[in-house]
Structure 1
Amino acid sequence: MDDTGSINNDQSIENEEDIDFSEDRELVTNDSCSTKVLDSPEEPVDKYRLVYFLFYLFGVTSLVPWNFLITANDYWMYKFRDVEPHNLTVYVRKTQFQAEFTSYLNVATAIPNLIFLILNSLYGHWVSVRSRLLGSLIIVTLCFVVTTSFVMVDTDDWQGTFFIITMFTVVVMTAASAVFIAGLMGISSKLPQKYMTAVISGQSLGGIIAAVAQIISLAFKISPQHSALIYFCIADFMVIASLISYVFLYKIDFFTFHILRGSGMAANRHREAYLTIIVKKIWVYAFSIFAIFGISMCVYPAVTVLVESHPVTSGTDWNNIFFVPVVNYLIFNCGDYSGRMAAGFLMKPTNQWVLAGASILRIIGVPMLMLCNAQPRKHLPVLFPWDYEYILIMIVFAFTNGYLTNIVMVHSTRVVEMHEREKTSSIIATMLSVGLTAGAAVGMLLVRLL
């Protein structure tokens, strides 16, 4: 943060005795919130690091829809299989629903996510953060309960209707998740930086949990229906636990202190956070987050999911069953998670231009991954055929993704004033989504270049 911003925030906190806290008291004076902290001269302690772990849980929950819906690919292929008796032969081609489901799923998640992140950036201040977060969690919970309820239902005779219901719930769930993510980033930016790191690391941990669940189901040869039931029940538990935890969060003095007083929020309550002013301060960080995720999505998962194990492992379970789940999902998510954790301790580089340069430099990983053993291919040679080569490239690519993401998220909210942090988080989250969408579009082209 620049010196002027620091002085302004310090003066705001020092002059709190002259400020009318009536609006802040009205905001939190109800049965679920702690108000005594407003009169406390000392900063409360995060006992047992409870708030920290709750923000970790919120981070995991924020990407639950994406992680668990994608992981249940075998379940979707089962639901939309060809059920006509005359087609029950040894080799059955994919139905239209099976062939197009993943593409529709990507569209049903990418577009609502981007739209609602933009809407939240522009109009989110019209609704309180608490209402947005609680409302979005309730909607996600209801949608996942509906999705779970269909797992053991026979939908063979009405696959078209089931497809429409599924896409509708995914769109609604994604829109609600976008609002939740933006709000979560906003409130975490008003706490010490390790709490935003907890959210960012939690998002990556969710991917690890989903990948491990998939590998376990494959190892024990669990049926697609039962494995999906396990995935979705885990997701239901996480979302419901987050919903209850968020209500409980307002009873914790440490959280209330930082949101309402310790952060200087009361002093800045009537100050407008102008979008143009914020963009001037953070545009380099916004570009960096766009570059990070745009570059990652160019090849992950569109290209990386096509990479096969070296031919010497042909016929083994490693090649036929475990290679893609372990390397493409588990190792990538572990590398990404490790990067986010490491950044929480180091937080370097601090210079925004160096950070932008490092983000762009990751583009080296794109051709390297395309030159791994991705099949089928017509144009490019395979320069890295061995599994260990692909795994090393994937680890570096994933680690830098997580490491730079954490640094951008934290630093971007530290170069603005306190009352601008929530809108800053929304802008960064929106640019992240734009990067994902642009990268996914480029990824479709890169697959044709293999």
Structure 2
Amino acid sequence: MAIVSEDDFHHSSNSTYRTASSSLRADQEALLEKLLDHPPPSLQRPEDHFNAAYIIFFCLGIGGLLPWNFSVMAQEYWLFKLSNCSSPATGEEPKGSDILNYFESYLAVASTVPSILCLMVNFLLVNRVPIRVRVLASLSVMLAIFVLMTVLVKVDTSSWTPSFFALTIGCMAILSGTSIIFNSSIFGMTGSFPMRNSQALISGGAMGGTISAVASLVDLAASSDVTDSALAFFLTADVFLALCIGLYLLLLRLDYARYYMKPVWPAMFSGDGQPPQDSPSPPLAAARSSDSSTPPLRPILKRTAGLGFCIIYIFFVTSVIFPAISTNIESLSRGSGSLWATKFFVPLTTFLLYNVADLCGRQITAWVQVPGPRSKVLPGLALLRTCLVPLFVLCNYQPRVRLRRVVFQSDAYPVLFTSLLGLSNGYLSTLALIYGPKIVPRELAEAAGVVMTFYLCLGLMLGSACSALIVHLI
């Protein structure tokens, strides 16, 4: 399949606008294509000088997921806080032992339920609340939550552990909800930009995971104080969130970004050649007035159904394996007592390797976009990833109760399989995600971005639930 130019892809999707008068549709579309092929000086697309917009979207991708990655990664810190380690040991069972045992389950609920609810709310707010307000508000709330968590790092909470637990779960729920609003809004916004910008945003998210994995390894090697490590993590997240606010405000001032965020039709069919600054295009204005400001869901679901299946299944397979199965694969030389086998095997072969491979897969889509959005090869490749599940299970997963035999008797196999898992997840999921907002009319691109994020969350939820079942069958 031939690789389609991202600008051609982008503008061909814009030609699907509905007009107020159906009798003029064909003439307007023909004129639109002619203008896009040979735009007059007033319609020339500005260049992304110094790749400024690309870099900003990449950084926004990092900032959108880095705080959550850091908060989840600080597992030792939460164990320290919730087991009353702030106070001297008394030899008694910690008061919060039940809280400690079920903390990860509570955390999963606190991250999943608000995400789904906030995605629904964000879809309803697409045409009601300007994207600038939603992005800046969500970033500000995330920053406020992390500043509070940073302050609490050095506060002795041993006398109010249950209250600290409730506060932590509440903060995580708010953080998860606002993070999904930010990520789905900014991803929907990139639907109006060339595909390279969507790819930059998605690759930035993978870089956030890579940075978290590297930070975890550095912390593991240094063996520093748990509160000092958590303080460094949270301060880094604070800086990134503040940086994201500044970068987003800078993005709005770039001519390149302002061009793609402006309505297209008034500029195409008005005599002055300049689009009104504050007025929407006629089709969009008509849609808003007739649809009560709520984007139509049915046409989005209809057009993105195939890509939605790919996204759901890709993340389903990934979340079945990572981290529930992959983190329990031990080195075959664990009995030797070496640092590689006992301390660094899982962090290196699971977390760091997977995130680096995932980042590489996403970055490849900046240069190659095959198969296309309508190709049957894409869902075929997504289904082919099912083979990775038994491959990981047949490695040295421990403990094994029912499946006693370890087929792959070498540490090289989990390294190979993790690389395939990360590369395929990064490449295939990025293709499906960036195609989604491009195959709908431009006025529905942002809403389509929210729907694509919903597909992602649904895949993760189903995979996480299925992973618990598979673990009990091994």
2:312 to 290, 295, 298: 290
C-alpha displacement at 1:266, in angstroms?
3.2
Mark the CA change 1:46 to 1:136 in structure 2 (over 3 Å): closer, same or farther: same
Q: Could you give the per-residue CA deviations for residues 270-323 of structure 1, whole angstroms, max 9, x where no partner exists?
A: 253421112111100011101111111112111111111113564222222212
2:200 to 166, 187, 198: 198
Per the alignment, residue 53 of structure 1 pairs with 55
Mark the CA change 1:448 to 1:12 in structure 2 (over 3 Å): closer, same or farther: same
C-alpha displacement at 1:248, in angstroms?
2.1
Per the alignment, residue 330 of structure 1 pairs with 352
Kindly provide the amino acid, as one letter, of the partner of residue 233 in structure 1: L
Indicate the larger mover: 430-439 or 123-132.
123-132
Per the alignment, residue 309 of structure 1 pairs with 331
Mark the CA change 1:82 to 1:4 in structure 2 (over 3 Å): closer, same or farther: closer
Per the alignment, residue 147 of structure 2 pairs with 145
Between the aligned partners of 1:146 and 1:94, the Cα distance in structure 2 is 22
Per the alignment, residue 407 of structure 2 pairs with 383
Mark the CA change 1:46 to 1:220 in structure 2 (over 3 Å): closer, same or farther: same
Between the aligned partners of 2:468 and 2:221, the Cα distance in structure 1 is 31
C-alpha displacement at 1:384, in angstroms?
2.1
Between the aligned partners of 2:144 and 2:10, the Cα distance in structure 1 is 44
Unmatched 5+ stretches in structure 1: 17-38
Per the alignment, residue 349 of structure 1 pairs with 371
Mark the CA change 1:122 to 1:352 in structure 2 (over 3 Å): closer, same or farther: farther
Q: Report whether the alignment pairs 1:369 with 2:373.
A: no
Give the TM-score normalised by the residue count of structure 1: 0.89
Per the alignment, residue 33 of structure 1 pairs with none
Per the alignment, residue 279 of structure 1 pairs with 301
SS state at 2:281 partner: coil
Does structure 2 retain, via aligned residues, the 8 Å contact 1:299–1:446? no
2:260 to 258, 261, 264: 258
Mark the CA change 1:94 to 1:219 in structure 2 (over 3 Å): closer, same or farther: farther
Does structure 1 retain, via aligned residues, the 8 Å contact 2:96–2:161? no
Between the aligned partners of 2:436 and 2:315, the Cα distance in structure 1 is 16
Kindly provide the amino acid, as one letter, of the partner of residue 85 in structure 1: A
Q: Could you give the per-residue CA deviations for residues 16-51 of structure 1, whole angstroms, max 9, x where no partner exists?
A: 9xxxxxxxxxxxxxxxxxxxxxx9543222221111
Q: Could you give the per-residue CA deviations for residues 384-406 of structure 1, whole angstroms, max 9, x where no partner exists?
A: 24211111001001110000011
Does structure 1 retain, via aligned residues, the 8 Å contact 2:15–2:32? no
1:245 to 219, 244, 247: 247
Between the aligned partners of 1:51 and 1:5, the Cα distance in structure 2 is 21
C-alpha displacement at 1:152, in angstroms?
1.1
SS state at 1:126 partner: coil
Mark the CA change 1:13 to 1:175 in structure 2 (over 3 Å): closer, same or farther: farther
Query: How do 1:135-214 and structure 2 match up within 5 A?
Result: 135-214=137-216
Per the alignment, residue 77 of structure 2 pairs with 75
Between the aligned partners of 1:82 and 1:267, the Cα distance in structure 2 is 62
Between the aligned partners of 1:94 and 1:310, the Cα distance in structure 2 is 36
Give the TM-score normalised by the residue count of structure 2: 0.84
Kindly provide the amino acid, as one letter, of the partner of residue 316 in structure 2: G
2:423 to 399, 411, 422: 399
Per the alignment, residue 449 of structure 1 pairs with 473
Does structure 2 retain, via aligned residues, the 8 Å contact 1:65–1:174? no
Q: Where in structure 1 do 4 or more consecutive aligned residues deviate above 6 Å?
A: 1-4
Kindly provide the amino acid, as one letter, of the partner of residue 341 in structure 1: Q
Per the alignment, residue 134 of structure 2 pairs with 132
Mark the CA change 1:13 to 1:61 in structure 2 (over 3 Å): closer, same or farther: farther
Does structure 2 retain, via aligned residues, the 8 Å contact 1:215–1:325? yes
Q: Report whether the alignment pairs 1:428 with 2:452.
A: yes
Unmatched 5+ stretches in structure 2: 1-8, 18-26, 34-40, 268-279, 288-294
SS state at 2:396 partner: coil
Does structure 1 retain, via aligned residues, the 8 Å contact 2:10–2:194? no
Per the alignment, residue 291 of structure 2 pairs with none
C-alpha displacement at 1:262, in angstroms?
5.6
Per the alignment, residue 27 of structure 1 pairs with none
Does structure 2 retain, via aligned residues, the 8 Å contact 1:137–1:176? yes
1:221 to 220, 223, 234: 223
Aligned residues: 426
